[in-house]
Structure 1
Amino acid sequence: MSSTVPALTSLLKQSHIDDHEEVLKAANSAIKHSKNDLDAHHAKVVALLKLDRFDDAIHAFEAGGEKLEEKARLEYAYTLYKTGKPSEAAEVAQQGEQRGYKHVAAQASYRTEDFRRAAELYKDLAAQPEDDAEADLRINTGAVDAQLEWTDQGELVQKKKPGREDLEAFETAYNAACGSIARGELGQGEVLLKRARDLCNSLEDLSEAEKQAELLPITVQQVYVLARQGRMAQAGEMARSIDPRSIPDASTRHIAQVNSMAASEAPANPFLAQRLIAKGISSSEPDHPFRFQTSILNQNKHAVDLQSSKFGGTADATSQILAKQQSPNLDAYYNSVSVANAAAHAKAHIGKDALKQILPLLERRPNDIGLILTIVQLYVTTGNAASAITLMESFLARLEQSRDAAQAEARYAPGLVSAIVSLYHNAGRRSHARRELSKAAQHWRRKKGNERPAGAVHLLKAAGSTLLESEEDEHRQLATDIFTDLHKEDESDRYAAAGLLAASPETATKAQTASLQPVERLVASIDVDALESAGIAQPPSDAAAVTTRKRPADDTAKPAKPKRPRPSRLPKDYDPNKAPDPERWLPLKDRSTYRPKGKKGKAKQNLLSQGSAPALGGADSEGSRPGTPGAGVVQGKQPAGKGGRKKGKR
């Protein structure tokens, strides 16, 4: 037996069998004779991977033990990846230095949503392609770039615009389309999706069934783009052309069903939608959606539950999620959960009625960012912007005074700073907005580029441009420092170069402003003589005017017609020789010539006269007002009952 085993192993090594089934049979035969033959176990694992029998391969590794995992480390990492264990696969692949390990590590990092690490690995692989297929590297790199855009890490993407080589294969065109859609460039994304569809249909080495399988994700993405553009009729028609049951991938199938429901022009039945979404996507393992997709699907679930009037269940479910997180939390998903929780407590009320239901939650969750922004929005929509500003100021002051590093970091989050600055601008508090931007800029300037969040650069640019409008030297110097730092970090940034030139034109060098277009090129197409002869636009005389006046182009213009005199507003009986009544501006009843008619009118007139009373005994004087009596009381008549007697108890 001992002499037979080496012979079988040697034969297995020297064989040139092309059929992986035959290799598997030979390996199993060798293992039967010797269970500890690592070469036979290794050959068996490779054959199983070639046959796409990944579950059998992981069982083979379990049977082979740690020695087999050590000997076939690359195959073990790939098997872990294919069996839905990307985290373990990445950990194993990091222990190797060969290109195969980098490939597995990059794919595993992509699946674990560590897109930054995946981008670094593919960049190293693309620097020295060696025997790798350049097209495959380009496809994988494009997929990673698209995911970086979706997860708000677009600053790590080196290539924003697709090149000519990206339009040669439908896979690269599709990835470029996804990147454009993630950046909000829906028009370009639609064009690239059509290009990917045409390239896929033109392939001759794919069967019709294979083409349809490749076209399904492209169609699902087209439905999303059309719906985002508001072209609901086209989106619904394209969604109806997809049979979700024909999509093999469970996550893609679920997303296609949700997009089809959202693209429908007719309002969906909330109870049917709730039933569809409630099924969840647990059956899609291991190819489950990415986290940003899962976040959107969960938001849809909460929205449909609220439409189905399941307020109590939604409030309980979201409260359990929020209880596991520490506030303040800048994660967009948990803040969306907080908004859903507030909506559940509002119970379909809006405006001030919703505020009455939501404000008590603030006592229990004073640092909940999603809840605070919801209340701020309700304050603004109800016309109470002052309360919104007060709430934001107290919240930010509380974070600033906190000793917790996480809370202090959240104080200058770009989203919160932009919210309070927008409130200040709407209220006309320009100085408060500049002060807030100045504090935020000073905070983020102390951080390095990789330590800043995605929106910090945009916040610094907004702060610099706003501080340039200030008359304070301190603000203008800070603006200069901001644009200087931004230009050092990215010399191709035209905004930073323009800001640096505006902040300090006397010290800006040609090297710093090299990315800007020269003024001569900007005005090259402008005909100055034509502009001058056409006339200079004049500002409107009235703020409500919508047209502007221009002086005539030539001096031979027709003279203006003389103005017609206004018709006279003088009375018909006006006599210029007679002096006007000096009391003509007074009301009629206040003039000295006014005489009321009737007894009631005269009595009322006497009462209105200061220091006077009607004459006792009913004697009235037509010619003069009554004098002020020394003493007297004006008595009203008592109504008499029957027989002239007064009413009352006898």
Structure 2
Amino acid sequence: MGDQMEKQKRRATLYGEVYRFSQNSDYDKMLKSCNRLLHEFPEEETAFESKIVACIQLSKFKEALEFIGRNPKLSKNLSFEQAYCCYRQNDVVQAEKLLRNSSEESGRKTELLAQIYYRLEEYEKCYDLYRQVIKNSNDEWESERQTNLVAISACLNMSGIENNLPHAKGDTFELDYNVGCVLVGKGQYAEAESVLLDAEKECVQTLEEDGVPEEEIEDEVSIIRVQRGYCAQKLGRTKEAMHIYTKSLKVKPSDIGLAAVAANNILSLNRDQNIFDSKKRIKTINADGVENRITRRQLCSMRVNQCLFSLHTNQYDACQKLCAELLESNPEVKEEVILIKAAVVAKTEGIEAAKKLIEKTISENPQAALRVRLGLVQQVLRGGKRQEAIDLLRNLGKDKYLPGVVSAIVTLYQADGDRNAAAKLIREAIQYYRQNQIGKENMSVLWQQAVALMMEQGDYSEAVKSLEEQYKLQPDNMGILAQLVIAYAKLDLSKAEQLSKRLPNPAFESLDIATLESPSWQVNLKLAKKTLKGESVPTSPVKQVEADATGENLKQVKKKKKKKRHIPANLDPTITPDPERWLPKYERSGYKPRKTRSKGKVDVGKGTQGATSEAAAQFDMSAKVRSPNQAPDNPAGDGPAVSAAGYRKDANKKKKKKR
């Protein structure tokens, strides 16, 4: 009886330690107390559950799963903890299975299941579960859940699933960052860049107020900067994007997924240039554990870029191998892989072999995407078969009326000189969009092409019809109105004059019309500027004002008078001067050199003009031999010498002897 009482007392003491350490968040000591408790009382289910909780708090998920596996009787109520450990170990499939088989019905289970769906990229299920969690919960984690909901909305938009849930900037930089990602998913890159810039400033300010070290601030803000760099890249500012990516990688972010994304974007900007830098970026992309930190779509894009890099660097065998691996893991990118393979075959086996490869793909899949068919057209054009390319484009069904396809066919027709066929195709495309009442933007592009072609062919009546219809849809577009005035000027001047009154008045009141109409402004712009109204020419030839670079120290400067040209008194204006009069005699076209007596060599005298043979000996330095006692050529008594620095030295001054 005494031993039993002692055991109960010991048991209560150990449970007291477990409770005290858990309240103090000292999970290392809590785990040790749990181990002592289970050593003395191996059947204690509460002690086992406490041990699993301590392992989770210490991020020892592998050990927790091993403990659960070795004690199935004690872990029958730990399905949630087991699922959470699997989730943290990136085994999300097993985690989902455990939660589905669990009988527990709680908010934490629903929230964990939503996070698992997020990892599985099943964003629609995740979105529905998170809305359910937010609706049924009311605690201090409300803002974090709202941030996660916006992140899921961003993933939906980036995956091509439109999500119109309204999002506004919040009180935290995390929420602002996710709002920026939503705008990126919708293609609103300028608006997203503005929101991300505000999120970056707010992030730096918040962390500085919390006393976070500068290195950690740079690490935290890197993800916002990389996303902002992506916006700059999509907006065409590639140099700025490259600078942002490089700066983010120099910080060496702790998130390997973020580093891989930045390296991949640099790889896409390098293309077939800067090969050594691209190889270094590929190593970052292929680092261990990257696939667990990025989405499947991002990983697929990285693999495609590696295939393209191998293609650009002529590593054809490596490219074929990467394409096979990519097709096995991501069957949805079959079209991109086929086009890359066709490019490899075109370089190794020829254009006809590449053409056959694409034709085989299309025959196996008659509903092949437009990009595959356009790849076939590209190979045909590379072979110089223009008419066959036109036939392939005309046989694209409804896709042949897309503005890009129409533009390609029109260009090919114009290259063949068949402008009538080009104009006919544009009219067919416009009629197609009119009948189906779709694609107003496409119609605008086609109208512009049609009008340009009609004006070029001189068909102004048809051009007027198209422009009038376009002007009805866009009455505020002054460019269309100006084109309409030009077209009417060829047909009806009164109508053109009437329409021209709607155009805005140009602000040319200060210009001289006579000067604009004269050709002098094209020849000499400075002379034309002098005749502009409101511009005064200095009348006094004596003085002008001059200022220094700072705008101060004004001083009066005399204006230099132009020198008059002096004309010789015996000048005959009827005779044209000799154009070679300024050249030496031996360089003139009529000069005939005299031959020497010895060996018939030509004696070309290029010495001093006017020098006699007697004076020549005076200037022959080779004839002079210096005697040992003779003074140097530049004697000290000749006068003051000039040093290299430009200062004169007294040559007569004797050097002081050293004492």
- C-alpha distance in structure 2 between counterparts of 1:347 and 1:543, whole Å: 54
Determine whether 1:144 maps to 2:148.
Answer: no
Equivalent pair of 1:223/1:259 in contact (CA under 8 Å)? no
* Percentage of matched positions with identical amino acids: 17
Aligned to 1:298: 303
Q: CA 1:550–1:281 in structure 2 vs 1: closer, same or farther (change >3 Å)?
A: same
Equivalent pair of 2:96/2:116 in contact (CA under 8 Å)? yes
- The alignment yields a C-alpha RMSD, in angstroms, of 4.2
Equivalent pair of 1:249/1:284 in contact (CA under 8 Å)? no
Q: CA 1:113–1:313 in structure 2 vs 1: closer, same or farther (change >3 Å)?
A: same
Aligned to 1:277: 282
Q: CA 1:152–1:100 in structure 2 vs 1: closer, same or farther (change >3 Å)?
A: same
Write out per-residue CA displacement over residues 139-170 of structure 1, whole angstroms, 9 at most, x where no aligned residue: 1111111111111112xx2425x31xx33211
Equivalent pair of 1:48/1:56 in contact (CA under 8 Å)? yes
Equivalent pair of 1:171/1:196 in contact (CA under 8 Å)? yes
Aligned length: 429
Aligned to 1:446: none
Q: CA 1:296–1:542 in structure 2 vs 1: closer, same or farther (change >3 Å)?
A: farther
Q: CA 1:462–1:288 in structure 2 vs 1: closer, same or farther (change >3 Å)?
A: farther
Write out per-residue CA displacement over residues 191-243 of structure 1, whole angstroms, 9 at most, x where no aligned residue: 11111111111112250243222101112222222222222332233333234
Aligned to 2:446: none
Q: CA deviation at 1:336?
A: 1.5
Determine whether 1:207 maps to 2:218.
Answer: no
- C-alpha distance in structure 1 between counterparts of 2:290 and 2:439, whole Å: 50
Instruction: Give the residue type in structure 2 aligned to 1:104.
Output: L
Q: CA deviation at 1:57?
A: 2.4
Q: CA deviation at 1:539?
A: 5.6
Aligned to 1:375: 376
Q: CA 1:7–1:80 in structure 2 vs 1: closer, same or farther (change >3 Å)?
A: farther
Gaps of 5+ in 1: 394-416, 438-460, 468-521, 527-535, 555-650
Determine whether 1:181 maps to 2:184.
Answer: yes
Instruction: Give the residue type in structure 1 aligned to 2:498.
Output: K
Aligned to 1:233: 239
Q: Select 2:174's aligned residue among 168, 171, 174.
A: 171
Equivalent pair of 1:186/1:225 in contact (CA under 8 Å)? yes
Moved over 6 A (4+): 1-5, 429-437, 551-554
Q: CA 1:84–1:343 in structure 2 vs 1: closer, same or farther (change >3 Å)?
A: same
Equivalent pair of 1:77/1:93 in contact (CA under 8 Å)? yes
Q: Select 2:39's aligned residue among 32, 35, 48.
A: 32
Equivalent pair of 1:180/1:186 in contact (CA under 8 Å)? yes
Q: Select 1:465's aligned residue among 438, 460, 469.
A: 438
- C-alpha distance in structure 2 between counterparts of 1:292 and 1:544, whole Å: 58
- C-alpha distance in structure 1 between counterparts of 2:405 and 2:426, whole Å: 7
Instruction: Give the residue type in structure 2 aligned to 1:314.
Output: C
Equivalent pair of 1:271/1:308 in contact (CA under 8 Å)? no
- C-alpha distance in structure 2 between counterparts of 1:13 and 1:434, whole Å: 82
Q: CA deviation at 1:124?
A: 0.5
Which deviates further from its counterpart, 371-380 or 35-44?
371-380
Write out per-residue CA displacement over residues 600-630 of structure 1, whole angstroms, 9 at most, x where no aligned residue: xxxxxxxxxxxxxxxxxxxxxxxxxxxxxxx
Q: CA 1:363–1:263 in structure 2 vs 1: closer, same or farther (change >3 Å)?
A: closer
- C-alpha distance in structure 1 between counterparts of 2:34 and 2:361, whole Å: 65
- C-alpha distance in structure 2 between counterparts of 1:543 and 1:319, whole Å: 63
Determine whether 1:50 maps to 2:47.
Answer: no
Q: CA 1:9–1:420 in structure 2 vs 1: closer, same or farther (change >3 Å)?
A: farther
Please show how residues 107-146 of structure 1 align to structure 2 within 5 Å: 107-146=115-154
- C-alpha distance in structure 1 between counterparts of 2:60 and 2:142, whole Å: 27
Aligned to 1:621: none
Determine whether 1:345 maps to 2:345.
Answer: yes
The higher relative CO (CA closer than 8 Å, separation ≥ 6) is in 1
Equivalent pair of 2:177/2:196 in contact (CA under 8 Å)? yes
Equivalent pair of 1:245/1:253 in contact (CA under 8 Å)? no
Write out per-residue CA displacement over residues 54-98 of structure 1, whole angstroms, 9 at most, x where no aligned residue: 233223322333641x31222222111111112222232343320
Scaled by the length of structure 1, the TM-score of the pair is: 0.57
- C-alpha distance in structure 2 between counterparts of 1:44 and 1:462, whole Å: 72
- C-alpha distance in structure 2 between counterparts of 1:8 and 1:116, whole Å: 52
Write out per-residue CA displacement over residues 34-70 of structure 1, whole angstroms, 9 at most, x where no aligned residue: 33432111101111212233233223322333641x3
Scaled by the length of structure 2, the TM-score of the pair is: 0.57
Instruction: Give the residue type in structure 1 aligned to 2:341.
Output: N
Write out per-residue CA displacement over residues 374-433 of structure 1, whole angstroms, 9 at most, x where no aligned residue: 21455579744543246646xxxxxxxxxxxxxxxxxxxxxxx64676688666569998
Q: Select 1:387's aligned residue among 373, 388, 391.
A: 391
Q: Select 1:102's aligned residue among 81, 104, 110.
A: 110
- C-alpha distance in structure 2 between counterparts of 1:173 and 1:373, whole Å: 41
Equivalent pair of 1:538/1:549 in contact (CA under 8 Å)? no
Equivalent pair of 2:226/2:245 in contact (CA under 8 Å)? yes
Q: CA deviation at 1:26?
A: 1.3
Q: CA deviation at 1:285?
A: 5.2
Q: CA 1:320–1:58 in structure 2 vs 1: closer, same or farther (change >3 Å)?
A: closer
Q: CA deviation at 1:356?
A: 5.5
- C-alpha distance in structure 1 between counterparts of 2:492 and 2:338, whole Å: 44
What is the DSSP-based 3-state SS (H/G/I as helix, E as strand, rest coil) of the residue aligned with 1:43? helix
What is the DSSP-based 3-state SS (H/G/I as helix, E as strand, rest coil) of the residue aligned with 1:65? coil
Aligned to 1:478: none
What is the DSSP-based 3-state SS (H/G/I as helix, E as strand, rest coil) of the residue aligned with 2:191? helix
Q: CA 1:67–1:104 in structure 2 vs 1: closer, same or farther (change >3 Å)?
A: same
Q: CA deviation at 1:334?
A: 2.4
Equivalent pair of 2:130/2:149 in contact (CA under 8 Å)? yes
Q: Select 1:255's aligned residue among 258, 261, 276.
A: 261
Q: CA deviation at 1:110?
A: 0.7
Instruction: Give the residue type in structure 2 aligned to 1:137.
Output: R
- C-alpha distance in structure 1 between counterparts of 2:4 and 2:338, whole Å: 69
Equivalent pair of 1:143/1:175 in contact (CA under 8 Å)? yes
- C-alpha distance in structure 2 between counterparts of 1:183 and 1:90, whole Å: 30
Instruction: Give the residue type in structure 2 aligned to 1:192.
Output: V
Q: CA 1:315–1:5 in structure 2 vs 1: closer, same or farther (change >3 Å)?
A: farther
Equivalent pair of 2:117/2:126 in contact (CA under 8 Å)? yes
Q: CA 1:135–1:418 in structure 2 vs 1: closer, same or farther (change >3 Å)?
A: farther
Q: CA deviation at 1:2?
A: 7.2
Q: CA 1:233–1:117 in structure 2 vs 1: closer, same or farther (change >3 Å)?
A: same
Q: CA 1:307–1:65 in structure 2 vs 1: closer, same or farther (change >3 Å)?
A: same
Q: CA 1:425–1:273 in structure 2 vs 1: closer, same or farther (change >3 Å)?
A: closer
Determine whether 1:308 maps to 2:313.
Answer: yes
- C-alpha distance in structure 2 between counterparts of 1:170 and 1:551, whole Å: 53
Equivalent pair of 2:339/2:375 in contact (CA under 8 Å)? yes
